[in-house]
Amino acid sequence: MTKYYQGINSAMIHGGRLPEDAAHAVNVPIYQTSTFRQFGIGETVTWEYTRTGNPTRAALESLIAELEGGQAGFAFASGMAALTAVLSLFKQGDRLLISSNVYGGTYRVLDKIFSHFGITYTIADTTDLNALEQSITPEVKGILVESPANPLLTITDLLGVADLARRHHLVSIADNTFMTPYLQRPLELGFDVVVHSATKYLGGHSDLIAGLVVVRDQELACRLAFIQNSTGGVLDPFDSFLLQRSIKTLGVRMDRHVSNAEQVAQFLIRQPGIARVYYPGLPDFKGYAVNQGQARNGGVMMSFELKAGYAYQKFFKALKLIVLAESLGGVESLVCHPATMTHAAIPEEIRRKVGITDGLIRLSTGLEDPEDLLNDLAQALSASKS
């Protein structure tokens, strides 16, 4: 189909469409069906069974592929199902390099599930390209990074990692959940695979669980399609529809999320009760320059550390507007306590070493009026002072 647009906002609304359906619906219909009629044995069919392919899901898959600039997209029932499919590209004896503050669930599935199949991992400092290259042994076949990473917003030089991966014939995988293709496109920086927990900003309304994968070349596309159909963790037609509905407003949502986050970060750095603010949009943040070179801006996610004398339990109890919950990326502001929630699966000594202290609070700034968010944070901070 001819494209009558250039920009990513137009792509989010008009991209990835399948040919028109019989009723000429403006939106992709929900094909709520497990199977499709066949007209004869051996005759070619476009759709046969929804695990293998479904038009509503296929529209979403081609949309995310277009937004990330990849060859093909795949939709899964969760971010972890997406990661599990991607990790299934590896085989017994293979080793992956992962960064030390990778998403807790990613660490857990590698440590407790894939290790049983002989696929191992090495925790590496992906911010130091020389050290990273040193940790490549003959059995290393892949590298998995997040930038910014969870929960300290650590920035990895994606161009550098992609280049290193290419030189050592490693499959490079970027979990782009925190940024979305609106803010950062790892395939354009040379990565092979992009993974999303679409549960977060892509879904954006805290009402669905989904995962997406995009690959850069046809060979990976064929392998991923085979894995998706064989292991079966696919996204259902209704959630595939909902996710397309969400993605149409991704650009406007992210613009407001980021502007609210910038105001919150500026507020937090001035508070006496706060020891540190980790936010890639602050010019004195460690990875600021690298992030500016590979992403549109500093994104939304931030973490901050309470000073001694401020009790995190009281802080969470006192919040009135901002919701204490797992997850991120919703229209409502969400906070969590990484040490006991998202990163509880990571052994304590590793946690402390990388800086996930008890006073660390992660914030996903929502779309509320910024003044209301600042007021809530201010009153919770004063209530937490012991």
Ligand X SMILES: *Cc1c(COP(=O)(O)O)cnc(C)c1O
**Selected range binding ligand X among 194-202, 224-232, 245-253, 374-382, rule: CB under 6 A:** 194-202
Q: Which residue's CB is nearer to ligand X, number 200 or number 351?
A: 200
Task: Tell me: does residue 228 bind ligand X (CB under 6 A).
Answer: no
Task: Tell me: does residue 177 bind ligand X (CB under 6 A).
Answer: yes
Task: Tell me: does residue 376 bind ligand X (CB under 6 A).
Answer: no
User: Exposed (0-12), middle (13-18) or buried (19+): which is 148, by Cβ within 10 Å?
Assistant: buried
103 a catalytic residue: yes
**Residue 16 and residue 14: Cα distance in Å, rounded?**
7
Task: Tell me: does residue 197 bind ligand X (CB under 6 A).
Answer: yes
User: Exposed (0-12), middle (13-18) or buried (19+): which is 377, by Cβ within 10 Å?
Assistant: buried
Minimal CB distance residue for ligand X: 79
8 A C-beta contact, residue 127 and residue 157: yes
**Residue 30 and residue 312: Cα distance in Å, rounded?**
45
**Selected range binding ligand X among 195-203, 229-237, 243-251, 259-267, rule: CB under 6 A:** 195-203
284 a catalytic residue: no
8 A C-beta contact, residue 365 and residue 261: yes
Q: Which residue's CB is nearer to ligand X, number 211 or number 237?
A: 211
Q: Which residue's CB is nearer to ligand X, number 200 or number 216?
A: 200
8 A C-beta contact, residue 62 and residue 14: no
Task: Tell me: does residue 236 bind ligand X (CB under 6 A).
Answer: no
**Selected range binding ligand X among 54-62, 158-166, 193-201, 235-243, rule: CB under 6 A:** 193-201
57 a catalytic residue: no
Beta strands 211-215; 193-197: pairing state: antiparallel
Task: Tell me: does residue 199 bind ligand X (CB under 6 A).
Answer: yes
**Residue 175 and residue 193: Cα distance in Å, rounded?**
9
**Residue 358 and residue 352: Cα distance in Å, rounded?**
9
Q: Which residue's CB is nearer to ligand X, number 111 or number 133?
A: 111
* Active-site entry in 185, 200, 351, 362: 200
Q: Which residue's CB is nearer to ligand X, number 88 or number 150?
A: 150
To the nearest 10 degrees (0 to 180), the angle between helices 79-87 and 104-112 is 40
Task: Tell me: does residue 103 bind ligand X (CB under 6 A).
Answer: yes
**Selected range binding ligand X among 15-23, 84-92, 197-205, 305-313, rule: CB under 6 A:** 197-205
Q: Which residues contact 100 (CB under 8 A, 6 or more apart)?
A: 123, 124, 125, 350, 353, 354
Helix (H, G, I), strand (E, B) or coil at 321: coil
Q: Which of residues 69-88 bind ligand X (CB under 6 A)?
A: 78-80
Task: Tell me: does residue 105 bind ligand X (CB under 6 A).
Answer: yes
Helix (H, G, I), strand (E, B) or coil at 134: helix
8 A C-beta contact, residue 173 and residue 193: yes
Q: Which of residues 285-324 bind ligand X (CB under 6 A)?
A: none
Q: Which residue's CB is nearer to ligand X, number 146 or number 305?
A: 146
253 a catalytic residue: no
Tell me how far, at minimum, the Cβ of 153 lies from ligand X, in Å: 12
Q: What does each C-alpha distance from 158 to 111, 128, 144, 290, 349 come to in angstroms?
A: 24, 11, 11, 9, 27
Task: Tell me: does residue 186 bind ligand X (CB under 6 A).
Answer: no
Tell me how far, at minimum, the Cβ of 378 lies from ligand X, in Å: 27
* Active-site entry in 94, 157, 175, 236: 175
8 A C-beta contact, residue 23 and residue 206: no
Q: Which of residues 136-165 bind ligand X (CB under 6 A)?
A: 146, 150
Catalytic residues: 51, 103, 175, 200
Residues interacting with ligand X, by CB under 6 A?
78-80, 103, 105-106, 146, 150, 175, 177, 197, 199-200, 209, 211
